[in-house]
A and B are shown apart, each in its own frame.
Chain A
């Protein structure tokens, strides 16, 4: 065989060089996505009931002292935290969805498939219903902490059950779906038991809203996202290899069960943190990875970052839409993501159908 390889004509272009065109295209696509996100972020900050011209906004971001006291409050206490939270939560959900779709080998998987959001909703609902103030922290902290705690608990339960059965893909998904229905039923039970005011609070929480964004929350989501992104980057080749199939990945010597366990823990941390601070935001974790896959393929060096960017862009655009659909009213962002995301998703699917 060596003789045959060495006798290859030297003029033949190297495949690695041909392949670099793909890589270059993907780098450009990622850069374009990052620019779109930046523009969307600026528009999101500029959009709101009071007029805030982009030029003043950019100057204010650069030099806060150029703003009036009112403008500074609007920019730094309202617009900027909301907009940054949208970007971070979108990126977290996009990354979580992409990793989950890979390790569960299912394009329908998202952080919500396994009932993580339903568990978080139950935790938050209980905190609101029972008027919990954990260790005297008050309801402001008790609600996200309960949401996070229940989301993590749900994941640990699924992983423990699945692990005892060999952590197969179908097992994980089936347990997830079973838990989803169980938690939803329990949430309805809480609804049934709650009085009108409490019920209104619970329903509003579960719609998903950026209005709970504070700098403290943003820092937590940012740290968790960065931590998970760095860990993801270390297993990009293993996850790319897994796309060839589980039997193939095993034959490469990869420990697929361990990879799946570690990734699902990471996904639940990402999703639970995001859901705890903004409530339930569906669709981003499902559609973000699909957009990235269409634009960048499934080489996870590009796909994971692309999914995070696509999720961030979606939620940032949804945040703008939530403010402009009805002037003067901010519609809960969880409603907007589905209303804007579904037609976008359908366009993508139809476009793909035509191309194939």
Chain B
């Protein structure tokens, strides 16, 4: 593979004999794209993200801009593909700015002090976190810490963003802010974002493609316009409909659990 973009070919992963991902392949995702990774609990979404960056043992091919990521060390992969873990940053005595600086100084030792400071500051502004910058992490709410965690990934300016439930602790406004910021990064920098997310409405509204994962396999993949409501029953075990609001955005309405 030589073209730019991201692709996965025959990726399998598991823990201690338990198979979590079974021969997962993802067609080439071009630059400037946001891809939602959806699926029920334990579908393998987090494992897929970890396997891509080398934080979970896996077999298979992962391509980014023509380079085989599986041949790189986890540290080299993580420089190219920034990964946001599902767990929130810890409530510690560091200020938000310090936690961001430490992520940059430890994760990107090639940056000068000035570059690290500039990246930290511009990321805090992008995510509207400047008012929190000099507050201690143990004085921030869970949602605010989740935002700082996202800032730690974005500030390293990776080619690709792998975000594991980046909006799980956020209120409505911040959920939209986060997805808008990621979309802005994809459009302006040509970044690719793969976002594991539970909220189908956010996924359908902000992402260019939706990838449905179930029991370790890719069950469906396509644009939000092609999303079929029968997947709701098949994947989530719920009866639901796909409506469109007055602005034309797709809306998933769940009627009952089956």
Contact = CB atoms under 8 A, between A and B. Distances in A.
Interface in A15-60: 15-16, 18-19, 22
Contact of A248 (B53, B85, B185): B85
A204 interface: no
A2 interface: yes
B95 A22 contact: yes
B103 A241 contact: yes
Interface residues of A, number: 33
A297 B78 contact: no
Given A15-B120, A240-B98, A253-B107, 12 more contacts: A15-B121, A237-B109, A241-B106, A243-B92, A244-B102, A248-B87, A248-B103, A251-B53, A251-B84, A253-B78, A253-B79, A297-B136
Contact of B90 (A1, A16, A19, A244): A244
Nearest to B53: A251
A240 B121 CA distance: 18
B89 A252 contact: no
12 contacts: A1-B185, A3-B188, A5-B125, A15-B121, A19-B134, A241-B105, A243-B99, A250-B55, A251-B85, A253-B74, A297-B93, A299-B94
Nearest to B154: A1
Nearest to B90: A245
Given A4-B184, A16-B121, A247 B98 contact: no
Given A241-B103, A245-B90, A251 B133 contact: no
A14 B90 contact: no
A252 to B, nearest CB: 3
A1 B126 contact: yes
Contact of A251 (B83, B98, B124, B136): B83
A8 interface: yes
A66 interface: no
B122 A5 contact: yes
B68 interface: no
B102 A19 contact: no
B152 interface: yes
Contact of A254 (B88, B97, B107, B156): B107
A14 B75 contact: no
A8 B133 CA distance: 17
A77 B172 CA distance: 71
Given A15-B130, A253-B74, A241 B93 contact: no
Contacts of A8: 125
Contacts of A2: 188-189
Contacts of A253: 74-76, 78-79, 107
A150 to B, nearest CB: 34
A244 B103 contact: yes
Nearest to B188: A1
B213 to A, nearest CB: 21
B84 to A, nearest CB: 7
Q: Which of B79, B93, B156 has the most CB of A within 10 A?
A: B93
Nearest to B126: A1
A238 B106 contact: yes
Interface string A249-292: 11111110000000000000000000000000000000000000
Contacts of B109: 237
A5 B84 contact: no
A191 interface: no
A293 interface: yes
A245 B86 CA distance: 12
A298 B92 contact: yes
Please list the 10 inter-chain residue pairs (A to B) with the smallest Cβ-Cβ separation, ordered nearest first.
Answer: A252-B107, A253-B75, A241-B106, A247-B85, A240-B102, A253-B78, A237-B105, A245-B90, A241-B102, A16-B117
B29 interface: no
A250 B85 contact: yes
A252 B89 CA distance: 12
Nearest to A3: B188
Nearest to A240: B102
A352 to B, nearest CB: 11
A112 to B, nearest CB: 23
Contacts of A5: 122, 125-126
A3 to B, nearest CB: 7
B212 interface: no
A19 B95 CA distance: 10
Contacts of B147: none
B106 A243 contact: no
Nearest to A259: B106
Interface string B103-114: 101110100000
Q: Which of B84, B92, B121, B156 has the most CB of A within 10 A?
A: B92
B97 A19 contact: yes
A237 B55 contact: no
B149 interface: yes
B62 interface: no
Q: Which of A16, A18, A255 has the most CB of B within 10 A?
A: A16
B153 interface: yes
A264 to B, nearest CB: 19
Contacts of A18: 133-134
B128 to A, nearest CB: 11
A8 B134 CA distance: 19
